[in-house]
A and B are shown apart, each in its own frame.
Chain A
Amino acid sequence: MDIEFLARFQFGMTTVFHFFFVPMSIGMAFAVAVMETMYVVKKEQIYKDMAKFWGNIFLIGFAVGVVTGIIQEFQFGMNWSEYSRFMGDIFGAPLAVEALLAFFMESTFIGLWMFGWDKFNEKLHLLFIWLVSIGTALSALWILAANSFMQNPVAYSINEATGRAELTSFVGLLKNHQLWVEYPHVLFGAIVTGGFVIAGSSAWKMLKNKDMEFFKKSMNIGLILGLVGSILTIGAGHQQMIAVANDQPMKFAAMEGIYEDTTSPAPWNIIASIDTKEKETKWEISVPYLLTLLGGEDKYIGMDQANKNLHDEYDAKFGSDVDYYLPVKTLFWGFRFMAGFGTLMALMAIVGLFLLHKNKIQNMKWLLWLFVAGISFPFISNTFGWLVTELGRSPWTVYGLFTIADSVSPGVSATSLLISNIVYFLLFSVLGYVMFVFCKRAVKKGPYYVDPSEAKKDGIDPFAKGVL
């Protein structure tokens, strides 16, 4: 098997796995911070119980997120050494700032928060979880600053002697317009993720008729976060699409499944049968005017034209044999899965909140089950969103500047890569499974579970009334 395939497979696998936990951590930290704030403001014990209970779930996810993050940092050098040489001058700075500014903050204050419930006064303890939450959000900002450069290079020059990209303005790197559509999209998506994990888990407990007040209140917070988050995510996603159409027309055309230039005004394809061999869309169901209405342009160029433009622009640099067509079906359907589940979540949140406030939701079993299934929806959305973003960057690691084929480590053997792929796969399977089991178990036990062994130690009879 060839090195490029294995390295790409590994990058995809590790990134997707890591990105299950990142949005969950960001979202859950924010939700827990909100809950603890309500406790400090309202002084109601139930909010403290909520912060502790959901905080525990957050910590389980965070543990896996952190360790898989180290893989991400190391694999640039391990699998993509030539990319690291090309990009180091630019990629390294945000990565180092991420560590100094965000990781130290998260990791220090998470320790203080976790072990400090009885140690610090309420306001100081609240500050800790907010610092953790801000830390997770800042971390995303810096890593996306690097990613945005890969999508839309700015503030750089190419050193003719070394052939490397060099940073010309740190402020310019942060002003990248791609960053300011990508970051809100990811951040709000993370808030939806936290919200739906909480709402879905609460629904599951409501089905079991356990601790109703606690889980109704939790679901309420989860759904509010889900609703506000998903509306903002859709808004930011809309802005991002406009930017993509402008910066990466091939990606945009592939996401919409358009081979030939659209009519003016442009229709929007709901579904389409795409033939990637013949390079045509066999049939589609579309809504007239909608794409123009959404994107604001009269007409959009199709992949054929985008391909021609890319060849005109880059043949001198990369040769005429480069394939600029993307995995169209993956992008087309990936985008629809992402946006579809995103919209579904927004609707679910509206319906759920309405019924919750009418005090009817506990009787609608099928809806509660939908929310339980809904725990997976943000993860589906996040994963497809990321796949569309990164696959749409082909054939480049840095758009228009450096190809994937040139990025891999020349000194690393296929055997080494195969070993690491297998090791990661096994490791991720175990970690994913254990994490799922532990989260499920924690939710099952509920917020007022007292470990009998712990209780005995403190001289409490675990079966006495009032303990549970």
Chain B
Amino acid sequence: MSNLQFLWFILIGVLFSGFFFLEGFDFGVGMSVKLVARNKRERDQVIETIGPIWESNLVWLITAGGAMFASFPEWYASLFSGFYLILLFILVGLIIRGVSFKFRSSSENAKERNTWEWALFLGSVIVPFLFGMMFVDLVMGLPMNASKNVMNASFTDYVNLFSIVGGVAVTLVSFLHGLNYLRLKTEGAVRERSLAIAKKLYPVLFAGLVVFAILAYLKTDFFTERFTSSLILLVLIVVFAALSAYGTYKDKEGLSFISTGLVFVGIVAFLFNGLFPRVMIAKDSQFSLLIENASSTPYTLKVMTIVTVVLLPIVLLYVAWAYKQFAKRVKIDR
């Protein structure tokens, strides 16, 4: 494995972390439209907190997909064709969610608005849930063949206890992350209600994390292959979750928000650490796809690295600037 290959493996992980950190709270906010807000004005308020920024957050996923295609075409090909139906419904979720913002604001009456609020809610639930499932399936291993394709996978390879727990976990963290974001970005009843709901959800999260850890121990080879690093990352996830809960009970919203974001980063790191040096785990381990044989050529990796080194800082600068412009709390009476 070359340095560049290793770097791009890490970068793909970074891009997915960025996606979950940023788009994660967008999903949570989308859920809150139905679960926290109680009337039109509150729903307007909730949606306005992400109105200007959700699109650029979504680009993290598009970039992760494009970067995966570019740096690890074999991984992209095996993963995307191997998770066909899951990805189809992820797309459906992203689509109904993506159009719902503009369609809602163009709606003429409460009934139309309600339709697109439901689209926003459903899309915001489906996408994190299915991503959670997909990543768990990925690390459990799939039936793959010598041509690197996922072949004859059964229903239970995709839908099983562990993958459902994974899906629920990611959805739950997204919701909490969204609640913490709303605490940070709103005033009035929405903020108070977000806090109250978050307080009730933390015990569920901790129970979920215990189940997740046990299943990870039983169903993956993470603890036989890389015991120490897996354990450290698992502990980190718990620490971030605890910090986030602490921030909630002590009413420190910034801390809560950063910490739920870091829980996502921790989960991605945990999964990528367990994957390494593989990118796709085959049930028959000789067919596992490795970083080493899944990547594009050194030349393409070099081009991509140069492009990224030049462009990413600029992107981060103006994205951060945009966030700063909309840093104010969203009031209810706007």
Please give, as numbers and ranges, the residues of chain B lying within 8 Å of A68 by CB-CB distance. 95
Known: A88-B73, A112-B325, A167-B300. 12 other contacts (CB 8 A): A64-B99, A74-B87, A81-B149, A85-B148, A88-B74, A89-B297, A92-B66, A104-B319, A109-B322, A111-B53, A119-B325, A168-B299
Closest chain B residue, CB of each to CB of A79: B81
Contact (Cβ within 8 A) B55 A167: no
Please give, as numbers and ranges, the residues of chain A lying within 8 Å of B69 by CB-CB distance. 73, 76-77, 84, 88, 91-92, 95-96
Q: Which of A31-39, A359-367, A370-378, A412-420 contacts B (4 or more CB under 8 A)?
A: A412-420
A71-B95, A170-B303, A419-B85 given; A103·B73 CB < 8 A: no
Interface residue count for A (Cβ, 8 Å)? 69
Q: Which of B204-212, B247-255, B304-312 contacts A (4 or more CB under 8 A)?
A: B304-312
Please give, as numbers and ranges, the residues of chain B lying within 8 Å of A120 by CB-CB distance. 325
Interface residue count for B (Cβ, 8 Å)? 65
What's the least CB distance linking B155 to chain A, in Å?
12
What's the least CB distance linking B105 to chain A, in Å?
9
Roughly how many angstroms separate A420 CA and B88 CA in the complex, as a whole number?
A: 7
Please give, as numbers and ranges, the residues of chain A lying within 8 Å of B150 by CB-CB distance. 411
Contact (Cβ within 8 A) B80 A67: no
- Asked whether any CB of chain A lies closer than 8 Å to the CB of B131, the reply is no
Main secondary structure of the interface of A (DSSP, over half): helix
Contact (Cβ within 8 A) A438 B300: no
Closest chain A residue, CB of each to CB of B312: A100
Please give, as numbers and ranges, the residues of chain B lying within 8 Å of A111 by CB-CB distance. 51-56, 322, 326
C-beta contact mask, B272-284 vs A, less than 8 Å → 1, else 0? Answer: 0000000000000
Contact (Cβ within 8 A) A88 B91: no
Please give, as numbers and ranges, the residues of chain A lying within 8 Å of B319 by CB-CB distance. 104, 108
- Asked whether any CB of chain B lies closer than 8 Å to the CB of A99, the reply is yes
Roughly how many angstroms separate A77 CA and B76 CA in the complex, as a whole number?
A: 6
* Chain A residues proximal to chain B, CB less than 8 Å: 56, 59-60, 62-64, 66-71, 73-74, 76-79, 81-82, 84-85, 87-93, 95-101, 103-105, 107-112, 114-116, 119-120, 159, 166-168, 170, 409-412, 416, 419-420, 423, 427, 431, 434, 438, 441-442
Closest chain B residue, CB of each to CB of A101: B311
A78-B87, A81-B149, A88-B296 given; A115·B52 CB < 8 A: yes
Partner of B76, one of A56, A59, A88: A88
Q: Which of B57-65, B192-200, B230-238 contacts A (4 or more CB under 8 A)?
A: B57-65
Partner of A78, one of B84, B95, B315, B322: B84
Contact (Cβ within 8 A) A114 B81: no
Roughly how many angstroms separate A275 CA and B51 CA in the complex, as a whole number?
A: 56
Contact (Cβ within 8 A) A98 B66: yes
The 7 closest A-B pairs by CB, nearest first: A88-B73, A77-B80, A92-B70, A111-B52, A107-B55, A81-B77, A409-B81
Closest chain B residue, CB of each to CB of A170: B303
Please give, as numbers and ranges, the residues of chain A lying within 8 Å of B62 by CB-CB distance. 69-70, 73, 99, 103
Please give, as numbers and ranges, the residues of chain B lying within 8 Å of A409 by CB-CB distance. 77, 81, 84, 149
Closest chain B residue, CB of each to CB of A69: B62
Q: Which of B79-120 contact A (CB under 8 A)?
A: 79-82, 84-85, 87-88, 91-92, 94-96, 98-99, 101-103, 106, 108
Partner of A95, one of B66, B72, B74, B94: B66
Roughly how many angstroms separate A88 CA and B74 CA in the complex, as a whole number?
A: 8
Contact (Cβ within 8 A) A73 B65: yes
